[in-house]
Amino acid sequence: MSDALPNEPEPLTRPVRFAVVASRYNSEYVEGLAEGALTELSALAPGAHIDVLRVPGAFEIPLAVQRVAATGRVDAVFAFGVIWDGETRHADLIATAVTNALLEISLRFDLPVLHEVIVVKDEEQARARCLPGGELNRGVEAARAAVRMLTMLDELGEDPDFQ
């Protein structure tokens, strides 16, 4: 028996609400991430309510995610941004700060936060990971991960023997 997950999870059968927080910076690539997720969610969570919020850049994503999480009205939040790895440490500093903040928010609010604020070295990596039809579209993978997490959390909530 293989431990590999199936490529696509089973669709959700309950009503769900998602929020997408997307950076305006590097918008061509960020929009590709969002489009990949929204397309995949239309199949995996039919009828889901999805709010899309735009922030200036990657560094601003955690504050918006935190505000959305604090409402208690969403089942999962997607964080989409693209950071170009440059000649200075700036990209590493932003990526680390965003990663740490998103993890903290997810744990504090007991909420799946799908972290797709990615750091790329070049346009080839950005195209492959962000644009529609890209072989590794991280938006599609984020949608699948969200559905898998919600399914698992639902199962844990229904299992009276789980301690």
The residues annotated as belonging to the active site are 90
Positive or negative torsion for Cα 143, 111, 160, 3: positive
10 Å CB burial of residue 53 (0-12, 13-18, 19+) is: middle
Whether 76 and 14 have beta carbons less than 8 Å apart is answered as no
13 burial type by CB count under 10 A (0-12 exposed, 13-18 middle, 19+ buried): exposed
Provide the angle, in degrees to the nearest 10, between the axes of the packed helices 123-130 and 138-158.
40
Helical residues (DSSP H) of the chain, grouped into ranges: 27-44, 61-71, 90-109, 123-130, 138-158
